[in-house]
Structure 1
Amino acid sequence: MSTPAYHREHLRETLLELAERTVQRSGVEALSLRQLARDAGVSHAAPARHFRDKRALLDALALDGFERLNRAMTDAAATSGSFDVGFLAVASAYVSFAVDNAALLGLMYAVKHEADASEALVETARGSMRATIALITEAQAAGEVLPGDPERLAFVIFASVHGIAALATGDLLDGMSVEDATRATVDVLLRAIGTGSTHP
């Protein structure tokens, strides 16, 4: 069976797209390299050129997810001049990614915590936390956030925002919209870390 030029050149991206679609639709258990090869229209052996086994595929899928999440949060942080607006934008970016990619996000964190997770994955997974720490550090320097350990503050912020994402994906917001829940959480966090203001 000859592999079309499209697949030869872009097979890795095609397999990742198909794998993510499968995870979102049917869960990780439904994922198989053999089935992905069939879906991509290539030989059963073709995926091995990029992923030695399912574990390597999951690692790559998680890495791709964290790279996309990091880009979304970094882009959100760069959209405004004030900390309050930037903070809400970053929190909203995280929650939106979680809601739109619930199954993928679960896989991302599960694979990250595996003992044999790649160094690239573990390092990339820290990107969103680094972005949050940088945002806080800059705001502290500008007098918009009270002094304190920025890593500790970032951890509390992440726990709170991730909690809203978990409630949203579990349909546990009790009628409140995702946007309102995110805004309410950000408002409380902003008061707690000392800005003295909330996003209007």
Structure 2
Amino acid sequence: MAYHHGRLRETLLEAAVAAIEQDGVARLSLRDLARRVGVSHAAPAHHFGDREGLFTAIATDGFARLATVLEQAGDDFREVGVAYVRFATSERGRYEVMFRPDLHRRDDPELAAAMDRAGDVLRSGAAAEPGDDRTNGLAAWSLVHGLATLWNAGAIAMDEGAEVEVVARAVAGVLFGHAASAAGGAAVADPVR
């Protein structure tokens, strides 16, 4: 993988995410990352310090991207949930690191700011729904996070050709009483194999 002068950090991050998607987080090392990018083994250490620093940078980038996606979804809380699932299933490498506090530095100020920004969008949507804001927020996050995690693991039995966004819209609709209009013909098979 070639990189442009001045963009080595971004190239390393993208290569790390690709490696995670291919081999998982356990197999990623700074030395392997350097080999993938074609730079000296000291280059990743220069940018991230250590493996935990690399994962912190991936999580920070992931939460910033997630916040942008959620903000772009608009004011419809169901569509924010769909955007969350879309992000989680299309950005699997980042998503896998983001919710693994054992991998990164939770006290990193940039990571905390990115997490707060994404969380603010989710909290504001939950506040717009009837009922308790905190319970709504936890219910919504649990639903979309659980759906995305199950989808990524291949644990949901779906009819062939089912699209994650259609399924996410149908499932999110159930949470806030939009079930009849949410399904839109989604072919959701038996939930347990």
- TM interval, shorter chain, is 0.7 to 0.9
Which amino acid in structure 1 is aligned with residue 4 of structure 2?
Answer: Y
Moved more, 101-110 or 58-67: 101-110
| TM-score of the pair, normalised by structure 1 | 0.77
Which amino acid in structure 1 is aligned with residue 145 of structure 2?
Answer: H
Aligned Cα root-mean-square deviation (Å): 2.7
| TM-score of the pair, normalised by structure 2 | 0.79
| Cα distance between partner residues in 2 of 1:42 and 1:108 | 26
Report how far residue 117 of structure 1 moved: 4.5
Where does the alignment leave 5 or more consecutive residues of structure 1 unmatched? 78-82, 140-144
Q: Assess, with a 3 A threshold, how the Cα gap between structure 1 residues 46 and 167 changes in structure 2: closer, same or farther.
A: closer
Moved more, 62-71 or 27-36: 27-36
Aligned partner of 1:165 among 145, 148, 156 = 148
Matches within 5 A, 1:13-32: 13-32=10-29
Which amino acid in structure 2 is aligned with residue 171 of structure 1?
Answer: G
For residue 58 of structure 2, what is the aligned residue in structure 1? 61
Report how far residue 27 of structure 1 moved: 1.1
For residue 81 of structure 2, what is the aligned residue in structure 1? 91
Larger Rg: 1
Residues 4-24 of structure 1: CA distance to partner in whole angstroms, max 9, x if unpaired?
A: 9934x1111111011111111
Q: Assess, with a 3 A threshold, how the Cα gap between structure 1 residues 132 and 22 changes in structure 2: closer, same or farther.
A: same
Q: Assess, with a 3 A threshold, how the Cα gap between structure 1 residues 170 and 36 changes in structure 2: closer, same or farther.
A: closer
Are 2:171 and 1:185 equivalent residues in the alignment? yes
Which amino acid in structure 1 is aligned with residue 152 of structure 2?
Answer: T
Instruction: Confirm or deny: 8 A CA contact 2:64 2:114 kept in the other structure.
Output: yes
Report how far residue 88 of structure 1 moved: 2.7
For residue 118 of structure 2, what is the aligned residue in structure 1? 128
Q: Assess, with a 3 A threshold, how the Cα gap between structure 1 residues 105 and 185 changes in structure 2: closer, same or farther.
A: same
Name the count of aligned residue pairs. Answer: 179
